Amino acid sequence: MKIFYDSRCPLCVAEMKNLKSHDKHNRITLVDLHSDNFATENPNIDKQRALKILHLQDAQGIVWLGLDATYQAWKAVGRHRWLILLRLMPMRWFADKGYLFFANNRMAISKLLLPNQCTRSGCDINE
């Protein structure tokens, strides 16, 4: 499965590093939305939309968004099974609203929580 992430967002990069550290069977491929060949290699993913809400494409080609993408990613690596609770009603509605608030404000939140973590050109996922 592929997860499309914003390499210019310190919190996004930190989450991807954490996710990959648990990916013992290499089930997840991280795809930088800002890579030079992104559009050519991923014609079915709208970069502007993916910068607003997390996208994950599973092995069957299904594209999962937001917390559904997060849940699918962590499920693939066998961690954070409790996330299923955020996908059940009525919690799902509240969790999705919270996720959208976070996603829309991720850069400001990153500056507060992780100041000076990235340069203007992005964050290094390998650090």
* Share of the chain residues as helix, strand and coil, in percent rounded to the nearest 5: 45, 15, 40
pLDDT tens per residue across all 127 residues of the chain: 999 999 989 889 989 999 999 999 999 999 999 999 999 999 999 999 999 999 999 999 999 999 999 999 999 999 999 989 989 999 999 999 999 999 999 888 887 877 666 665 556 655 5
Classify burial at 100, counting beta carbons within 10 Å of its beta carbon; exposed 0-12, middle 13-18, buried 19 or more: middle
User: CB–CB of 4/72 below 8 Å?
Assistant: no
Cα 117 from Cα 20, distance rounded (Å):
19
- Number of Cβ within a 10 Å radius of residue 73: 27
Write down the pLDDT at residue 89: 93
Cα 90 from Cα 73, distance rounded (Å):
22
